[in-house]
């Protein structure tokens, strides 16, 4: 007999009530029960950052955080932050710099970058590199990701926005 615990949380602005197993990880609950595929399962040990989500405004590793710990919390995934426009300039800059090659690390990388920009708007290139070092990327070599984040920092310091990439069809 598996005991389940009732939890209530807000996920991307929507109230969620569920009964879940106490040892179920938040990322599994988000992906399997709520069908939010932005947070990925990578290492399942908190080392790669692919499962990064925000809980009560703080980025956390969803594979190390139990869903029952989110009871009463506000949870935000890349899907919710994309719809709200909170990441628009970062997303544009990532596109511009080809910083999303396979996309596996992108949601966690964008959330980490957004937190850096919010907490350290004058971060140096070296500080950007250090900040994102907990998020693994197997495709880009990090140069394009750092360039994208630095461009957003510099544009915001000038009071400008990153202009959308124009697609030619």
* Residue ranges of domains in the chain, CATH in brackets: 5-81 (3.10.20.30), 87-157 (1.10.150.120)
Axis-axis angle for helices 143-157, 88-96 (nearest 10): 130
pLDDT per residue over 100-154, tens digit each?
888 888 999 999 999 999 999 999 999 999 999 989 888 877 899 999 999 999 9
How many Å apart are CA 50 and CA 116, to the nearest integer? 17
This prediction has a pTM of: 0.88
Range 141-163 burial, b when 16+ CB lie within 10 A, else e: ebebbbbbbbbbbebeeeeeebe
Pairing of strands 74-76, 58-61: unpaired
Rounded Cα gap, residues 66 and 5, in angstroms: 12
Are 106 and 94 in contact by the 8 Å Cβ rule? The answer is yes
* Distance (Å, whole) CA 56 – CA 64: 16
The predicted-structure confidence for 27-72, as pLDDT tens digits, reads as follows: 999 999 999 999 998 888 888 999 999 999 999 999 999 999 999 9
- Terminal Cα-to-Cα distance of the chain (whole angstroms): 57
């Amino acid at each position: 007999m598996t005991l389940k615990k009732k939890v209530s949380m807000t996920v991307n602005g929507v109230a969620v009530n569920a009964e879940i197993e106490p040892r179920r990880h938040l990322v599994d609950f988000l992906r399997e029960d709520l069908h939010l595929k932005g947070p990925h399962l990578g290492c399942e040990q908190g080392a790669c950052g692919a499962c990064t989500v925000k809980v009560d405004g703080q980025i956390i590793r969803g594979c190390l955080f139990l869903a029952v710990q989110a009871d009463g919390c506000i949870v935000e995934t890349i899907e919710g932050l994309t719809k709200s426009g909170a990441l628009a300039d970062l997303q544009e800059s990532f596109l511009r710099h080809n910083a999303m090659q396979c996309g596996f690390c992108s949601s966690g990388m964008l959330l980490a970058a957004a937190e850096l920009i919010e907490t350290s708007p004058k971060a140096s290139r070296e500080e950007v590199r250090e900040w994102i070092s907990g998020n693994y990327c197997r495709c880009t070599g990090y140069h394009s990701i750092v360039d994208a984040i630095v461009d957003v920092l510099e544009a915001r310091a000038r009071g400008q926005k990153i202009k959308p990439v124009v697609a030619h069809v």
